[in-house]
Amino acid sequence: MKKNSFYFVMLLAGITLLAATKPSVKSPYGFTKGNPEIKSISALSFGKDGILFIGDSKGASVFALETKDAKTGNASAIAIEKIDEKIASALGTTKENINITDMAVNPVSKKLYISVQFTDGTPAILKVDNEKIEAVSLKEVNFSSIALNDVYAEDAKDARGRPMRVSTISDLGFDNGKVLVSGLSNKEFSSTFRSIPFPFTDKQDQASLEMYHASHGRYETTSPIRTFTTGKINGKDYLIASYTCTPLVLYPLDELKSGMHVKGRTVAEMGSGNTPIDMTTITKNGETYLIMGNTAKPVSEVNYKNIAAFEGTLTERVAGTAGTVFVQVPTLTKVLQMDKLDNTRVVIMQKKDNGSIDLMTANNDTL
Lowest-pLDDT range of 12-16, 61-65, 107-111, 254-258: 12-16
Higher pLDDT, 183 or 6: 183
**How many beta carbons lie within 10 A of that of residue 343, not counting itself?**
12
How far is Cα 285 from Cα 31, in angstroms, rounded to an integer? 42
Complete edge-to-edge strand list for the sheet that includes strand 236-242: 227-233, 236-242, 247-252, 265-269, 322-323
pLDDT, tens only, 198-252: 999 999 999 999 999 999 999 999 999 999 999 999 999 999 999 999 999 999 9
Sign of CA dihedral 219, 221, 224, 226: positive
The arithmetic mean of pLDDT across residues 118-139, rounded, is 95
Report DSSP state, residue 253: G
Sketch out the chain's domains with CATH numbers.
32-363 (2.120.10)
pLDDT, tens only, 274-332: 999 999 999 999 999 999 999 999 999 999 999 999 999 999 999 999 999 999 999 99
Q: Note the pLDDT of residue 65.
A: 98
pLDDT, tens only, 133-162: 999 999 999 999 999 999 999 999 988 898
CB–CB of 304/283 below 8 Å?
no
* Cα dihedral value 49, 344, 357, 320, nearest 10: 120
Confidence band of 112 (pLDDT split at 50, 70, 90): very high
- Mean confidence (pLDDT) of the chain: 93
